[in-house]
Structure 1
Amino acid sequence: MTNTTTTDLVCPLWRRLIALLYDVVAVLAIVMTVGLVCQLATGGQLITITGAQVHIAWWYRPLQAVVVTAYFVLSWLRGGQTLGMRPWRTRVTTREGARLSLWQAVLRAAAAAVPVLLLLLAPVLGLRTALWCVLGLWVIWFATGLVDSRRRPIHDLIAGTEIRRIG
């Protein structure tokens, strides 16, 4: 008989997806706050409309990406949990159960965000199609968690991390 502690329990996919939904709410709040601050800082010129053309300041999207990435990376480094992971009692760790290194946290965030790059196809495919492509690739990303013995999606496999249930 093996001696299993609660920190060794693999997190089921449904629990991690619900925690991710909670994090979407946090990310929306962060994005809205950054947008408001940027609008105020530019005197309302962050987004301008000329005829049928919408122009967004060149630096705004990269800033949003950095801020959202910082939310996840700092949460994982600080205690292994984002706001969404706390109520579901899950934590991201290394395969050995230790805290993530900065490199692992950044690599995990970057790998998890790869499907979002498909939004760059929006001008060619249209926004609706690009969003469906993002969703489809995320399904593939998380589907590996259904076959991996430790329930790890692609970004956890790449970063050498996993989500564990705690407490």
Structure 2
Amino acid sequence: MSEFPNAGFFRRLAALLYDGLVVIAFAMLSTVLFLLLVQGAISLEWLSMSGHEDISAFVQDTPLLYWLRLALLVSVSVFFFTYFWKKSGQTIGMRAWRLQVVTTDGAPLSWGKAALRSVCALLGLGNLLVLIDFKHKRALQDRLTGTNVIVLSKEENRRVYRSLD
């Protein structure tokens, strides 16, 4: 059991909103790169816009490209959270709010556990469970992956951050 308390809903939500802005920026960048690749394929005549007024309309109306773009956006989000949870147990937003994901046995998160936790979070909706779990304050993704989100002291948060160098 951790010496730090489990995080409540509103603190988790604040960190998620902060992280959401970062994920949106990465999603925008990956979308631009995807559209550049599609434009390149059109320029090389591997694809034809077949009467569409622009590349965005073409991607939207082409099922394969639409699903590839959607898979890319989901992958960007899952990778963002997985990478940070594996690296330090903290995303950028979690660092700002002094939160950290830890396993119930104190071990660092593996790549698999971090990725599963990211998928199980259901775009943050898994955190709603914290509102009714007054005693343990565990979200759906915590229960399914054997993790907790704890609130670190200022000193411990600084120590975790410094250990990344």
Distance apart, 1:55 and its partner CA: 3.6
Alignment correspondent of 1:124: none
SS of 1:162's partner is strand
Runs ≥4 in structure 1, deviation > 6 angstroms?
A: none
Matched, 1:160 2:156: no
Matched, 1:146 2:131: yes
- Residues of 2 paired with 1:157 and 1:92: CA distance? 12
Q: How many pairs are equivalent?
A: 136
CA displacement 1:53-108 (0-9 Å, x = unmatched): 74461421112211211111011000111111111010001013332122221211
- Residues of 2 paired with 1:104 and 1:74: CA distance? 11
Alignment of 1:56-95 (within 5 A): 57=65, 58-95=67-104
Alignment correspondent of 1:12: 8
Distance apart, 1:34 and its partner CA: 0.1
Alignment of 1:30-41 (within 5 A): 30-41=26-37
Question: TM-score, normalization: structure 2?
Answer: 0.72
Question: TM-score, normalization: structure 1?
Answer: 0.72
- Residues of 1 paired with 2:18 and 2:128: CA distance? 20
The structure carrying a bigger strand percent of its residues is: 1
Q: Is the 8 A contact 2:9 2:131 kept in 1?
A: yes
The two structures, once aligned, show a CA RMSD in angstroms of: 2.4
Point out the structure with max Rg over C-alpha. 2
Give the alignment partner of residue 96 of structure 1, picking from 102, 105, 119: 105
Distance 1:47 1:17, change over 3 A: same
- Residues of 2 paired with 1:111 and 1:156: CA distance? 9
Q: Is the 8 A contact 1:150 1:162 kept in 2?
A: no
Alignment correspondent of 1:111: 120
Q: Is the 8 A contact 2:121 2:127 kept in 1?
A: no
Judge which range, 62-71 or 94-103, deviates more: 94-103
Alignment correspondent of 2:25: 29
Q: Is the 8 A contact 1:94 1:162 kept in 2?
A: yes
Amino acid at match of 1:87: A
Alignment correspondent of 1:42: 38
| Ranges in structure 1 where 5+ consecutive residues have no aligned partner | 117-134
